[in-house]
A and B are shown apart, each in its own frame.
Chain A
């Protein structure tokens, strides 16, 4: 008998405890209806309290950026809270600078909605939507970078060249939860029904492994966006762009957009760093663009060209950049545009500032 009684008692006991927990949850976590006021009352949302700000907003189709899906580990979901929501949580502090804290910037996913709240978010976020897209084409542009073209169907997207999208990764294999990852858009803003992303395989990466091994043409995926402030300024100064690997994406979008819209009177220097020849891509396309557009200069550089037939620049991209800034592009008013790993960005930042480009004139899109 015992083998029946023991599990039975345990199940009854755990059942009772579970029931008590959910009843307490229902009673205690019932915060009633609360109002979220956005941008000084420009928009007001009424919603049942109890959830966090990030998910509550997304249930009303307002999407804050988020690369970790609300687990408090990416720091992307920042927004300004102008009403009192209590002190900073220990989970928020690592992602916020002192200045941001003074400004009352918080992590949306860590704020639980218990009473009326007012927040400020960039107006551009109202433009952010969730798109149901179909994978139209996947092309291997190098051994580890795929160019993925998503078709948005009847939906239209409006974005500025340089912005990024969040790709929703469904659960697969051992990954049990849906996650999101951010990728810069590489297609032109004029193509309103497509989004193209360049996705490099990061060994062990949840999202990139999924894209590289599971994603097929014809698959349906969700994309959220557009986000981001990385864009070409409307000035006439020389643009010094530096990228490596899939950092190509925002520049591809920017360059073709500028060319298409005849924004071609400013000088553009685009330095693209790779290790070996097999890491280079779009060489022909960019060479072609260079031919048609006299102000555009493309400088690919290999850091390890050994034993290869290579006529271009060699050396670390920072050294090549330094050489050009000292000799060829040494006059005029310049702006820096960087996209790549934090290490590369910091190194290029140093080279640029050492060559007289002011820090506030250097813009970047850092891979998190």
Chain B
């Protein structure tokens, strides 16, 4: 049974209260490594949002029309990964052709997204939580925007920290992790406002 939540609520919940990065801690590696640079963060955020939404939609169709009818749900991991990899490939070709400048900006990040656990996580969530197609779309798009928001916030903070007197031992990943911890705590402030499950 699909949960009875309005897609709009799901959308906002996935951006704020259940932010995929700051509440679920998914997609951390690229979040930490790319956030040093604003432009790349922006590009990656955009790419993650697009890939998340598209793959979640495709995976929803695959779950409901292939895996469940044939009783093959146990194969979902491998199927999801294959779908994500193929989608990223196709998207890469399309962007390369349609907007070389965007391709330039995303170029090396696009293939990286294939192995981003946030993408796989969202596909698994929509299966576990049994969302409808519309719910899936709103949830996945929101999750992407949430990831984008979080990485932009972090890179903005990192820019400030760059000029701050950080103790030598904490420079780099150390202070970044602490910052992420604070950000996660700040996002806890949203919890209870909307419920996502």
Chain A residues near B (Cβ < 8 Å): 2, 5-6, 9-10, 13-14, 17-18, 20-21, 24-25, 28-29, 86-87, 89-91, 112, 114
Contacts and interface: CB of A to CB of B under 8 A. Distances in A.
Nearest to A8: B70
Contacts of A114: 100
Given A17-B83, A17-B86, A21-B89, A10 B108 contact: no
Contacts of B83: 13, 17
Contact of A86 (B66, B89, B104): B104
B71 A2 contact: yes
B72 A5 contact: yes
A29 B75 CA distance: 33
Contact of B70 (A9, A14, A24, A87): A9
Interface string B64-98: 00100011100100110011001001100110110
B121 interface: no
B62 A13 contact: yes
A24 B90 CA distance: 7
Classify the secondary structure of A's interface with B. helix
B172 interface: no
Interface of B: 62, 66, 70-72, 75, 78-79, 82-83, 86, 89-90, 93-94, 96-97, 100-101, 104, 107-108
Classify the secondary structure of B's interface with A. helix
A87 to B, nearest CB: 6
A182 B90 CA distance: 37
Contacts of A2: 71
Contacts of A5: 70, 72
Contact of A28 (B72, B78, B94, B108): B94
29 contacts: A2-B71, A5-B70, A5-B72, A9-B70, A9-B75, A10-B75, A10-B79, A10-B82, A13-B62, A13-B79, A13-B82, A14-B82, A17-B82, A17-B83, A17-B86, A18-B86, A20-B86, A21-B86, A24-B90, A24-B93, A28-B93, A28-B94, A86-B100, A86-B101, A89-B104, A89-B107, A91-B108, A112-B96, A114-B100
Given A86-B104, A90-B107, A6 B72 contact: yes
A28 B99 CA distance: 12
Nearest to A90: B108
A201 B107 CA distance: 38
Nearest to A6: B72
Contacts of A10: 75, 78-79, 82
